[in-house]
Amino acid sequence: MTTIKERLIDRLESRDAVIGIVGLGYVGLPLMLRYSHIGFRVLGIDIDASKVDKLNAGKSYIEHVDGDKVARARDRGFEATTDFARVAEADAVILCVPTPLNKYREPDMSFVIDTVDALKGHLREGQIISLESTTYPGTTEEELLPRVEEGGLAVGEQLFLVYSPEREDPGNPDFETRTIPKIVGGHTPACREVGVALYRQAIDRVVPLSSTRAAEMTKLLENIHRAVNIGLVNEMKVVADRMGIDIFEVVDAAATKPFGFTPYYPGPGLGGHCIPIDPFYLTWKAREYGLHTRFIELSGEINQGMPDYVVGKLVDGLNQNGHALKGSRVLVLGIAYKKNVDDMRESPSVHIMERVRDRGGDVAYSDPHVPTFPTMREHHFDLESVPLTPATLAEYDAVVLATDHDRFDYEMIRAHAKLIVDTRGIYRGADANRVIKA
């Protein structure tokens, strides 16, 4: 007689299982497309009815996700819904919901907890639940485990629980969902076995770990590594600038060393859904153990100070041209958090815009990927993207190059802008009177 675990693994390996994805955003939507592409029936669940309607119409609402792929997924049986009760139809339930910070820079677990609370009454025997949201070590055991067991199903025997952190890199053409190795930590060895069976259908390489806590810590280490090194190079940028040295030239030169050095480049601050946020999940949890994570918190302070540094450089440049920031017209180039995407989460460009506005500057923006400034929880601008032409550039006292989209015409910008504050190292060796490195 086969066990519940064996029957579930058989359904996954034969691709007869129904994959349920809760949260159809930058993580959940590409995952849906991958499972649909390889023959699984996928059910998507999201609280945003407008998002659900678009997907059911075969349309994408994310710039780098091809709408034709969504339409083909619909033809293969993909369906989106706002009805959480339908989770009972799924054999695998993958949670891809946000884990932001609150105003005190503490973990906001409300999206995860509210989602699990909405699902738990509809869970059944023979399902696997996988949390992909970035979080602190212990979340799966402390928050998910007791909730999913409330109905009397034993995790590891009747129901299976894993943590498998997302590793999406929106807009990166070198990697896709299939080619990014997948970490899987199970609450029990049986949970891990089912988790590996779930993901090895869709991902080229699955890396099993000993526990959900180890998997949660792995995701944090990946992004803390980046945050600390970006903080280091941002501090080096300030030192190099004071010494009259181009930090981009220095990083490029150091990168020629074939061992022991990984190049990180400075910028106007950290953006995105991971690097500015994830380190603080660990600093918060470490306090429970009486530990003070000094490296992490120091890098966070440095990176959070970069928008002010950029605005200081803008003020210096305007002063050289006989202008005060108050009353000056400033155009910010690029408000997405990284190049070639429309993702605005935690974008340092928005903080720069707010500081310019608060100090009396007349701020506008140009971004080919963000035609209208979106509705955001903490940032409010009633603006549309300014067309980038020689005539419009001439109308502004300064432009701040904050996000280096490939679609910008950098030679045209250089030829017609009165003053350029370059935070991305685009204009190497440029006229110091017109280009301010920041």
Tell me, what's the pLDDT at 430? Answer: 63
pTM (2 d.p.): 0.91
Whole-number mean pLDDT of the chain? Answer: 94
Tell me, what's the pLDDT at 206? Answer: 98
Q: How confident is the model at residue 10 (pLDDT cuts 50, 70, 90)?
A: very high
Active site residue 191: no
The three-point CA angle 237-243-246 to 5° equals: 50
- Give per-residue pLDDT as tens, 301-338: 999 999 999 999 999 999 999 999 999 999 999 999 99
Tell me, what's the pLDDT at 101? Answer: 83
Is a pLDDT exceeding 80 seen at residue 174? yes
| R_g (Cα) of the chain, nearest Å | 24
Query: Please, what's the b/e burial string for 232-242 (b: 16 or more CB within 10 A of its CB; e: otherwise)?
Result: bbbbbbbebbe
Token pair 């600390």 is at which residue?
Answer: 228
Q: Per-domain residue ranges for the chain?
A: 4-209, 305-437
Tell me, what's the pLDDT at 276? Answer: 78
- Give per-residue pLDDT as tens, 180-193: 999 999 999 999 99
- Give per-residue pLDDT as tens, 340-385: 999 998 899 999 999 999 999 999 999 999 999 998 877 889 999 9
Instruction: Indicate if 305-437 has the same CATH topology as 4-209.
Output: yes
Is a pLDDT exceeding 90 seen at residue 13? yes
Tell me, what's the pLDDT at 376? Answer: 80
What's the 3-state SS for the chain?
A: CCCHHHHHHHHHHCCCCEEEEECCCCCHHHHHHHHHHCCCEEEEECCCHHHHHHHHCCCCCCCCCCHHHHHHHHHCCCEEECCHHHHHHCCEEEECCCCCECCCCCECCHHHHHHHHHHHHHCCCCEEEEECCCCCCCHHHHHHHHHHCCCCCCECCCEEEEECCCCCCCCCCCCCHHHCCEEEEECCHHHHHHHHHHHHCCCCCEEEECCHHHHHHHHHHHHHHHHHHHHHHHHHHHHHHHCCCCHHHHHHHHCCCCCCCCCCCCCCCCCCCCCCCHHHHHHHHHHCCCCCCHHHHHHHHHHHCHHHHHHHHHHHHHHHCCCCCCCCEEEEECCCCCCCCCCCCCCHHHHHHHHHHHCCCEEEEECCCCCECCCCCCCCCCCECCCCCHHHHCCCCEEEECCCCCCCCHHHHHHHCCCEEECCCCCCCCCCCCEEEC
The percent of residues in the chain predicted with pLDDT above 90, rounded, is: 87
- Give per-residue pLDDT as tens, 112-171: 999 999 999 999 999 999 999 999 999 999 999 999 999 999 999 999 999 999 998 877
- Give per-residue pLDDT as tens, 65-95: 889 999 999 999 999 999 999 999 999 999 9
Per CATH, is 4-209 categorized as 3.40.50.720?
Answer: yes
- Which of these is catalytic: 62, 73, 90, 274? 274
For domain 305-437, give the CATH number.
3.40.50.720
Token pair 């301010």 is at which residue?
Answer: 436
Tell me, what's the pLDDT at 432? Answer: 64
Is a pLDDT exceeding 90 seen at residue 428? no
Is a pLDDT exceeding 80 seen at residue 275? no
Tell me, what's the pLDDT at 4? Answer: 97
Q: How confident is the model at residue 53 (pLDDT cuts 50, 70, 90)?
A: very high
Q: How confident is the model at residue 106 (pLDDT cuts 50, 70, 90)?
A: confident
Tell me, what's the pLDDT at 6? Answer: 97
